[in-house]
Amino acid sequence: MFFLLWLFVLGAILYFLLQRTISRITRTPVWLLWLVIMAPALIWGSWILVNGSHKAAPPELMIVPFVVCPFLYWLLVQWGRKEIASETAEANSANAADSPPSKTPLRPIDREEEASLRDCFPWSIYCLRDLEFRPQAVICRGQLRTNPEAAYEAIRKNVEQHFGDRFLVVFQTSFSGQPFFAIVANPSHKTAETPLKTESLNRPFLALALLLVTLFTTTVVGSQISGVTEKVLQSNPSMLTKGLPYAISLLAILGIHESGHYLAAKFHKIKTTLPYFIPVPFFLGTFGAFIQIKSPIPNRRALFDVSIAGPLAGLVVTVPFLIWGLYHSPIVPLSEKSGMLNFDSFIPTFSLLMTLLSKLTLGSALNAETAIDLHPVAVAGYLGLIVTAFNLMPVGQLDGGHIAHAMFGQRTSMAIGQVARLCMLLLSFLEPGLLLWAMILFLMPLNDEPALNDVTELNNWRDILGLIAIGLLLAIILPAPRMLVGWLNV
């Protein structure tokens, strides 16, 4: 039953990710892509349901689906892209037949404004060489003659002086490593013809309602973790209060994590929504919480601060909850069902940090022949540690992906993300409980939205803090070395 629950959660998460990402670039039905990418898990799950977990599956049943399905998934995505390309080509041909060819391309500025734009680039700051006009942007290429931060601020002020809030100034690095400016239309620009529609970002009643519903769903799950059965709960509803320690601990961890993002965004004057919780009536009682950034990130320093504030703030409360919960967790004999996903017989050696915290808290009572029956607060702390580690993965739009982008630049962070996904896949062969992570990471896009000033690098203390975050990630996901396990007798 527990395996079926994990399979259902995996399927729901993968379908949501496909709907949000891949459906934008391909016409292939999402359900077909979902079925292909879920095929290995469905095949392995069927084998376990029929033969039981005690009987090992044939090697070809484990390897062949994992090799064939990603390749088939890639073919289906490309097939859908070709359909989009062919439809676009037909539409362009039809438009070309019905209308005379245009001699000048679409330009976001007219020729009279071109001189004003050139005046925005002093030769002592950025020696402008040429302008490349595109429908929604003007690419300005030249040679940088001062430090990137000073150049960006000077040119941004010049553009605002000449054009007001009509454009955003983007500063990026080309594939050849040369910095260039892009003048793009500002979606927040207000004109007489199209007045700006003000959207309320603060919806406190919605945030409060989601919080209360999530408090209820996590309390129900927490009561089940505490050993209260559904039959007992129906006969005595007051037993629901036994789930409050788990619910309050988990909501505090997730809420403070998102509040860290929120406060850092406010500090950098970035528009964002309030933190919203996602309640679910099963699994852990919630799928976490989130905020939505509603304005461009001004620079890589702001991107770094907003990204790292969440994991660090969440960790500040996660570790005390985890230590307190471990201290009140009983020791049980080791069994065949013991593992990282069994809260009633938990083995911490899959994680270096969990091993150290467990041994520090439980002492000699925890040894190689025992496991831990996690207290509900310890379960919440453990989940908080997992959430922190997953968010710190340097992939795409996860917090870790933003941190890598801010530290190393957009192109390098994409390469780091690809390596991280492959390493997570290899690690899942040693610890099958991490397979869910690996599959989710492979469905996430590697690219990350650039900051407006995506050239100016971080200062030294932010680089050091980013390296500490990477070290924390490794301490959570890497297993404890055998020598350390033997020395600690766990």
CB within 8 Å of 357: residues ≥ 6 apart: 319, 322, 323, 326, 348
Question: Which tens digit of pLDDT belongs to each residue from 76-100?
Answer: 877 776 544 454 444 444 444 444 4
- 8 Å CB contact between 167 and 181: no
- For residue 477, give both structure tokens: 């996901």
pLDDT score of 339:
83
- The fraction of the chain above a pLDDT of 70, given in percent, is 82
Mean predicted confidence (pLDDT) in 205-217 = 92
* The two structure tokens encoding residue 112: 């009279």
Instruction: State the Cα angle at 283 between 315 and 61, rounded to 5°.
Output: 100
Contact 204, 273 (CB under 8 A): no
Pairing assessment for the beta strands 286-290 and 167-173 based on DSSP bridges: unpaired
Angle at 325 between CA 322 and CA 330, to 5 degrees: 130
Confidence class of residue 254 from pLDDT cuts 50, 70 and 90?
Answer: very high
Question: Is the entire prediction scored with pTM above 0.75?
Answer: yes
**DSSP letters for 136-185:** TEEEEEEEE-S-HHHHHHHHHHHHHHHHTTSEEEEEEE-TTS-EEEEEEE
Which of 20-29, 99-108, 205-214 bottoms out in mean pLDDT, i.e. has the lowest?
99-108
pLDDT at 270: 92
Mind listing the pLDDT tens digit for each residue in 408-422?
Answer: 988 889 889 888 988
Q: Which domains does the chain have, with CATH numbers?
A: 2-84 (no CATH), 111-185 (3.30.1360), 204-488 (no CATH)
Q: How many residues does the chain have?
A: 490
Amino acid, single-letter form, for residue 263 = L
